[in-house]
Structure 1
Amino acid sequence: MSKTLTVLGIETSCDETAAAVLRLTDGRAELLSDVIRTQLEEHAPYLGVVPEIAARAHAELADLTVKAAMHESGVSYSELDGVAATSGPGLIGGVLVGMMTGKAIAQAASKPFVAVNHLEGHALSPRLGNDCPFPYLLLLVSGGHCQFLEVRGLGQYRRLGSTIDDAVGEAFDKTAKTLGLGFPGGPAVERLAEGGNAEAFDLPRPLLNRPGLDMSFAGLKTAVARAAADTDMSEAELKDLCASFQGAVTDILSTKAALALADFDPGEDGHKRFVVAGGVAANKAIRAALTRVAEEAGATLIAPPLRHCTDNAAMIALAGAERLAAGLVEGDAGDLATGARPRWPLDEAAAKAAPVYDTGRRGAKA
């Protein structure tokens, strides 16, 4: 990785339109610009992300966001070494907007296009601002994904366990919607939980004591809905319910993380690194609990800066730059022939051999 590479990254997989310019030198990343435009106002009336609205917003914002990122970076298109864009998984309308924007820029500037797996962006995101060499254990927790992965190197991912139904972020958002807390739901639940009693409600911990690293959050979410329906809740009771829900999630993630760390092979240097990435990694209570688990296992917890826990283009630019540096992008045009993918597992072999969902059941985690 001795060559300096400058890459424009574009992210549009859900409800953030983002663009960033990153320079990679000797494996070290320097962010030249990092622009994120949210769609909170557009989706707030529906208490959740509406795919059609998200796609239209991306179409309106993509060019302006890229223009802002390029201006902030002080880099011209001719000075780029490549253009990277999320090409899946995600809401397909938004993915298409960002991917086609990236392809158009790459063709116009005669630069290679890099199709980036959004999950690989999250997997590499701790390397934006930390010394985080391979290998490491990864817990990816976001609105659409929840899984443990062994990261041995760039493009070398092995799925160790996954949610069998809802992702953690999805459970947070749906809990907030059930309780009428507004959008975005995750931060609203976390704020209320800070003043609540986590033992006030006896909520289930699905699969907590089952061997292996698979998880489940649908039953927990349903239990919260039933508890809320049983009474006209006071402000104090609402805080207690949010704290109990967050406590149950924390227990599940902590228990499974301890199991994963116990079995993780750190390689030759013997240093166990535990990476937590994705939007839910911004939750302070969950991050604190996972830090304790890591310390007890003799491991180091590494997480991206809060800004880069949620969806962003800096991680996409980094993934693109690392792929270019490693020679994983072939030809002058790069991945121009690659199509958008609503589902794109990091460990495709595991997804085919042992799919999370049975036949006939398909979702973002499949």
Structure 2
Amino acid sequence: MFLSRQACLQNYLPASTVGTAISRSAKCCRSNSLRRVAHQDGKCFSTRIVLGIETSCDDTGAAVMDETGNVLGEALHSQGKVHLKTGGIIPHVAQQLHKDNIARIVQQALSVGGVCMDDLTAVATTVKPGLALSLGVGLDYSLELVERYKKPFIPIHHMEAHALTIRATNRVEFPFLVLLLSGGHCMLAVARGVSDFLLLGQTLDIAPGDMLDKLARRLSLQKHPPCSGASGGKAIETLAQQGNKLGYEFKVPLERHLNCNFSFAGLQTNVTRRITQKEREEGLPQGQLLSCASDLAAAIQHTLAVHIAKRTHRAILFCVRNGIIPQSDATLVASGGVASNQYIRRTLQIVTDATGFSLLCPPPRLCTDNGVMIAWNGIERLRAGLGVLHSIEGIKYEPKAPLGTDISEQVERAAIRVPKLILTV
């Protein structure tokens, strides 16, 4: 079946946006032979296709995937440069940017994939956790789509999607240990199924990405040409490559606490004090780049990596000792924006080499927020028959939402002491 370009356009955009949408590529609607349809023994077996929509924070993402894991089309609009200028994410600004771009991004993903709304099996959208104003944009847009075109809706937990992204790129069987590191979260959990998680520990205060952003701003790294335009975490990582990580010593957080929780607020305070001290010593006003900035960046990154590695090491030992994860073919997955930091990955590799685990990380572009991970989680849920809704009445977004069953108290009671490893890379 062939549809006109205008018919295609109306088949995947809400009525309020059809008139202003960019014209769709001529390849939008192809014959059924090009729509992921398999023919065998004279019978037709259609592959299920999911549209994923992500607006939990400051990235507007959309992707179309089939149930074999093929990314048919994807698009992303990052607000990073806007928020760099304002010194952080301003919720109502993020909301407006999502509103301005969501129709175009969804259109682009569908157009690249040559997919119309009629081709979709379901629409999957992040509904928790995240910034309330941002989540609301994605949910409202998605509900208008599914109601108009009578498609099932799959609500997605943002952190579950991060955790399972690796299964779209690698063959990873349940159960596996997952470390989620981002600008808003830091947690260790065991993924036992598509929607079955055991939470071993999480940050008690701020997230690592949040800390890195604030310290990068305090160091005025945007004024350093190699870091200009980069996120705080990327700026720290870039500058750290030129520095001596042992030039400054910062206390690793929670060393006396034998659990798997994290804390980054104290480290941020200690580093900020040191920056202020060095500014006085060098006679520089706040906002000027310190001569020792690269050494400070390297020390920050190293301390952060050691803290994360030690908590992860304890989680591995706890899981093995309690039979939660079999030691044979055991896997640690590191995902989320901060998990794309190569120094942190190399530090985690030391831990997994010592414990017999394999370390797997999604490609860096899939570590940050994106539509692919949402579409894939929709595929996983569709396969498992979990959370596929045919009625959208009463669906709400949840800015705060726990991940799985919290067993962090059991981890603390176990009081496992981690063997010393040389974590300098």
- TM-score, normalising length: structure 1: 0.91
Aligned to 1:8: 51
Corresponding residue to 1:281 among 339, 354, 375: 339
Q: Highest Rg: 1 or 2? A: 2
Of 165, 189, 192 in structure 2, the residue corresponding to residue 152 of structure 1 is 192
Q: Aligned equivalents of 1:70 and 1:256: distance in 2?
A: 41
Q: Which residue of 2 aligns with 1:75?
A: 115
| 2:88 corresponds to 1:48 | yes
Q: How far apart are the structure 1 equivalents of 2:143 and 2:175?
A: 32
- 1:360 corresponds to: none
- Answering whether residue 296 of structure 2 is matched by residue 256 of structure 1, we say no
- Residue of structure 1 aligned with 2:404, choices 335, 338, 347: 347
In 1, distance between residues paired with 2:197 and 2:300? Answer: 31
Contact persistence 2:201–2:408 (CA under 8 A): no
- 2:220 maps to 1:180: yes
**2:278 paired residue among 221, 224, 231:** 231
Residues paired across the two proteins, number: 349
Whole-angstrom CA distance in 2 between matches of 1:269 and 1:207: 27
Q: For 1:39 and 1:321, how far apart are their aligned partners in 2?
A: 27
Correspondence for 1:195: 242
- 1:42-86 alpha-carbon deviations (Å, 9 max, x no partner): 212212111111000000000110000000011110010000110
Distance change in 2, residues 1:352/1:137 (3 Å): closer
Report if aligned partners of 1:204, 1:219 keep a CA contact under 8 Å in 2. Answer: no
How has the CA–CA distance of structure 1 residues 269 and 215 changed in structure 2, closer, same or farther, with 3 Å as cutoff?
A: closer
The answer to whether the 8 A contact 1:82-1:112 is kept is: yes
The 3 A distance-change label for structure 1 pair 236 and 128 is farther
* Alpha-carbon distance between aligned partners in 2 of 1:230 and 1:83, rounded to the nearest angstrom: 53
2: CA distance, partners of 1:79 / 1:102: 16
Distance 1:291 1:223 in 2: 27
- 1:302 corresponds to: 360
What is the TM-score normalised by the length of structure 2? Answer: 0.78
Checking the alignment, whether the CA contact within 8 Å between 2:200 and 2:406 is kept in structure 1 is: no
Look up the SS of the partner of 1:248 in the other structure.
helix
With over 3 angstroms needed to count, the CA separation of the structure-2 counterparts of 1:227 and 1:337, relative to structure 1, is same
CA-CA distance at 1:188 after TM superposition? 0.5
Letter in structure 2 aligned against 1:257: T
- Aligned-pair identity (%): 35
- Whichever residue aligns with residue 329 of structure 2, its letter is H
Pair 1:240–1:24, CA change in 2 (3 A): same
* Unaligned 5+ runs, structure 2: 1-44, 223-229, 283-288, 412-425
Alignment gaps of 5+ in structure 1: 355-366
Q: CA RMSD in A?
A: 2.1
Within 1, Cα distance between the matches of 2:209 and 2:363?
18
Shift of 1:209: 3.5
Opposite residue 167 of structure 2, the aligned amino acid is R
C-alpha separation between the residues in 2 aligned to 1:172 and 1:249?
9
Aligned residue type for 2:172: C
CA apart distance, 1:352: 12
Higher relative contact order (CA 8 A, sep 6+): 1
